[in-house]
């Protein structure tokens, strides 16, 4: 199998790329601006994927798949410039999808919990999506397009993704920086989510391909937390393993953050369908936090 990772220089894409390499898959990755020599430069907003990939990627008789990671994911940025984010996240993404499908490539699209309104939580794939922000609406539009026009594609809805490396951009890195600066950790009051380890996401995507899955799945940890409670657990472990700081965790109403677009309060997902299909075990958040703090100590 030939595997393409569009956006392999990003947080999630880089982990998929590494896991694919470790698994002996013939993988090709693209980058937009990051200076990684093993990746191909590709601008989703203007380039044709066929002109930048090596000629052998679309070899006859060799199955090919593409994971589309590239997206504008910041909720407020999508709201601030709706036209630009819509063009990138919807129009150019669909153009890329159609170009790849014409060449016989199976599509794996990374969507988001943001397609739900967040009033109930514990959403399954059968619950009707009703996004409350522009980012969620854009993700849902691509989902609908794939399900209607390319039903053999594979769609994964993701939750908040965390890692165990302090050098990567994710929630635990942000919290660790606040603790080290002796600043409080502010959480949206009442927000409940299902944070998921980035390596589990990478493994889950490759398992989905191995099991020849198609359709829509929630690729998310079964655990779910109140955001402020997970932050308190993180501070507790930080104080025990590194340095007692007395960092305060504060809960603030969403309206007080000054966001440009709405956030959902209950975004945790039901992953039963995916677990049954793959028998995959997800890493607990305690395991991820302990590993993160261990790596932080090594880097101090």
Q: Tokens representing 218?
A: 């929630």
Residue 175 included in any domain: no
Residue 97 included in any domain: yes
DSSP letter at 280 equals P
CA dihedral 239, 244, 245, 248 (to 10 degrees): 50
For the domain that residue 85 is a member of, what is the CATH number? 3.40.50.720
- Mean pLDDT over 240-248 rounds to 93
Report pLDDT for 5.
Answer: 97
With a cut of 80, say whether residue 217 has pLDDT above it.
Answer: yes
Residue 114 included in any domain: yes
Residue 72 included in any domain: yes
Q: Are 78 and 72 in contact (CB under 8 A)?
A: yes
Q: Are 21 and 27 in contact (CB under 8 A)?
A: yes
Report pLDDT for 63.
Answer: 87
Report pLDDT for 195.
Answer: 98
Q: Are strands 225-226 and 192-193 parallel, antiparallel or unpaired?
A: antiparallel
For residue 277, what pLDDT band results from cuts at 50, 70 and 90?
very high
Taking the C-alpha atoms of residue 31 and residue 39, their distance in angstroms, rounded to an integer, is 6
Which of 43-52, 54-63, 128-137, 185-194 is least confident?
54-63
Residue 243 included in any domain: no
Q: Are 75 and 112 in contact (CB under 8 A)?
A: no
Q: Tokens representing 92?
A: 């150019």
Taking the C-alpha atoms of residue 131 and residue 136, their distance in angstroms, rounded to an integer, is 5
Q: Tokens representing 135?
A: 């980012």
- Using DSSP's 3-state secondary structure scheme, residue 114 falls into helix
For residue 34, what pLDDT band results from cuts at 50, 70 and 90?
low
Residue 106 included in any domain: yes
Find all residues with CB under 8 Å of 51, minimum gap 6, and list them: none
Q: Are 99 and 58 in contact (CB under 8 A)?
A: no
With a cut of 80, say whether residue 300 has pLDDT above it.
Answer: no
- Mean pLDDT over 250-276 rounds to 96
Domain ranges, residue 45? 2-162+195-221
Report pLDDT for 61.
Answer: 74
Query: What is the domain count for the chain?
Result: 1
- Using DSSP's 3-state secondary structure scheme, residue 154 falls into strand
State the chain's mean pLDDT as an integer.
95
**C-alpha 85, offset from chain centre:** 17
> Tokens 């409940």 label which residue?
192
> Tokens 């590494």 label which residue?
18
């Amino acid at each position: 199998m030939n595997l393409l990772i569009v956006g392999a220089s990003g947080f999630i894409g880089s982990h998929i790329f590494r896991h694919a390499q470790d698994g002996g898959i013939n993988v090709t990755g693209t980058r937009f601006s990051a200076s990684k020599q093993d990746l191909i430069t590709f601008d989703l907003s203007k380039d044709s994927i066929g002109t930048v990939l090596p000629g052998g990627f679309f070899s006859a008789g060799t199955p090919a798949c593409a994971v589309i990671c590239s997206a504008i994911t910041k909720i407020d940025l999508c709201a601030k410039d709706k036209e630009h984010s819509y063009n990138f996240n919807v129009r150019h993404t669909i153009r890329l999808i159609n170009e790849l499908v014409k060449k016989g490539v199976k599509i794996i699209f990374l969507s988001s919990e943001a397609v739900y309104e967040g009033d109930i939580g514990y959403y399954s794939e059968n619950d009707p999506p009703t996004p409350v922000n522009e980012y969620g609406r854009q993700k849902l539009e691509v989902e609908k397009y794939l399900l209607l026009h390319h039903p053999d594609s594979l769609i994964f809805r993701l939750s908040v993704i965390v890692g165990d490396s302090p050098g990567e951009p994710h929630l635990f890195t942000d919290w660790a920086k606040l603790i080290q600066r002796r600043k409080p950790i502010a959480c949206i009051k009442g927000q409940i989510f299902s944070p998921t380890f980035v390596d589990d996401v990478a493994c889950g995507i490759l398992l989905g391909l191995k099991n020849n899955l198609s359709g829509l799945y929630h690729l998310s940890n079964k655990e779910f937390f109140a955001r402020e409670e997970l932050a308190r657990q993180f501070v507790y472990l930080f104080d025990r393993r590194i340095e007692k700081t007395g960092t305060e965790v504060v809960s603030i109403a969403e309206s007080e953050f000054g966001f440009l677009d709405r956030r959902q309060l209950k975004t945790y997902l039901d992953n039963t369908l995916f677990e049954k299909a793959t028998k995959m075990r997800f890493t607990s958040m305690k395991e991820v936090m302990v590993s993160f703090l261990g790596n932080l100590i090594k880097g101090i």
